[in-house]
Amino acid sequence: MRKEQHPKGWNEIKTNDSWAIFKIMGEFVTGFEKMSAIGPCVSIFGSARTKENDKYYTLAMDIAKSVSEAGYGIITGGGPGIMEAGNKGAHLAGGTSVGLNIELPFEQHDNPYIDNDKSLDFDYFFVRKVMFVKYSQGFVVMPGGFGTLDELFEAITLIQTNKIGKFPIILVGSDFWKGLIDWIKSTMLKAGNVSPTDMDLIKIVDTGAEVVEIIDAFYKGNILSPNF
């Protein structure tokens, strides 16, 4: 029998992969303990690069204020841009303001509008995304980049495949999202890669009032609880 060959040096590489599981477990335990005590929240996603004078920064802040006044906490990724706007809106409304920070070599730093006892730090994106999905009663998705799309499609996929229960996924900014939605309909849907009912998982709005209306209508008469 031929001996299995590995790339040169493969067998000499020393790793700590087996021990990393304890750090991963620690992040899950800390996240579950802290997030489970906070109560119903809505997550706001969007670009870290959005400036304070941008219309979407102002809109994200106004949406966070409206959602907070409706009785929900606000969760963001804890960084600048849209995330900061979300936490700022919650802070100004006197609501719960949560930040799930991620360790990055650039760009990420926690914003000053997160409640002191509700700022969590993560090394692993996948652990952080579990916290968003498990403890959010809705996703409000502002204009953003690859990270925003990652979080959006992760949630859609989990709902589509019945891995989690359905919750509102709201895209804010029809001008920004129109091209993507048109492509999904004209290409993915036409090819049969998604079904017509999958499109019902997404709502597109332009105002904070619409966001609150969709969330309140979805949960009217229902008990709020973690998603899995």
List Cα–Cα distances, 13 to 17, 19, 22, 24, in angstroms: 11, 15, 21, 22
Does residue 15 surpass a pLDDT of 80? no
Q: Is residue 225 very low, low, confident or very high in pLDDT (cuts 50, 70, 90)?
A: confident
Domains in the chain, start-ordered, CATH in brackets? 16-219 (3.40.50.450)
For residues 169 and 227, the model is more confident at 169
Compute the distance between CA of residue 221 and CA of residue 50 in angstroms, rounded to an integer.
36
Compute the distance between CA of residue 3 and CA of residue 118 in angstroms, rounded to an integer.
53
Q: What's the chain's average pLDDT?
A: 92
Residue 41 parent element (H or E): strand 41-45
Q: Is residue 17 very low, low, confident or very high in pLDDT (cuts 50, 70, 90)?
A: confident
Q: What is the pLDDT of residue 103?
A: 80
Compute the distance between CA of residue 139 and CA of residue 175 in angstroms, rounded to an integer.
19
Q: What is the pLDDT of residue 118?
A: 97
Q: Kindly report, residue by residue over 170-208, the tens digit of the pLDDT.
A: 999 999 999 999 999 999 999 999 999 999 999 999 999
Q: Kindly report, residue by residue over 64-79, the tens digit of the pLDDT.
A: 999 999 999 999 999 9
